[in-house]
Amino acid sequence: MTAAYVALGGNLGDPRRQLLEAMDALAHLPGTRVLRRSRLYRTPPWGVLEQPPFLNAAVLLDTDLAPQALLDALLAIEQRAGRVRAERNGPRTLDLDLLHMDDVQLDDERLTLPHPRIAERAFVLLPLNDIAPDLRLPGQGRVADLLAAADTQGCECLIEDRLAE
């Protein structure tokens, strides 16, 4: 079993429901358990600014799936949620990003692990810090330290909407 960290986000339709359904789908992947769930965060759009705010979360999985197989499963969950890849950083029903897998460093045409832009994105760091503040990402640093240096302006923790188990 390998620890895998997945970021979840969405800003179209009913993002809260879509994130919860995606977490349920992740828990039902073969050889996979959801170990931790973050709180839910409302965050400003990134990249394409003329779109609704996002809801973001993160989960820690324990999985037997290889990185490419897990990526394929994430893409299938997105597709079932109605994800249309019209533009990069544009609005979406659901976005699932494989951020990191313990003891895996990978860089190919489909997947780079750890995700190379984690340190740039408060919408990833906030929920990731909920579930793994001491996680050290090769080449980037410790999650809590990366978050301390990130611009979190406009990000809001939805405390009343606790997703953590």
Of residues 37, 95, 121, 130, which has the active-site annotation? 95
Of residues 37, 97, 121, 130, which has the active-site annotation? 97
> At 153, phi and psi to the nearest 5?
-60, 130
The CA-based angle 93-23-145, given to 5 degrees, is 90
Catalytic annotation present for 97: yes
Of residues 83, 136, 142, 151, which has the active-site annotation? 83
DSSP H or E run through 75 = helix 67-80
Which structure tokens are listed for 69? 């197989």
Catalytic annotation present for 24: no
| Closest among 163, 110, 111, 100 to 136, alpha carbons compared | 100
Of residues 37, 39, 42, 92, which has the active-site annotation? 92
Is residue 146 within 8 A of residue 16, CB to CB? The reply is no
Catalytic annotation present for 39: no
The number of helices, as runs of H, and strands, as runs of E, in the chain is: 4, 10
Rounded to the nearest 5 percent, the helix, strand and coil shares of the chain are 30, 25, 45
Instruction: State the catalytic residues.
Output: 83, 92, 95, 97
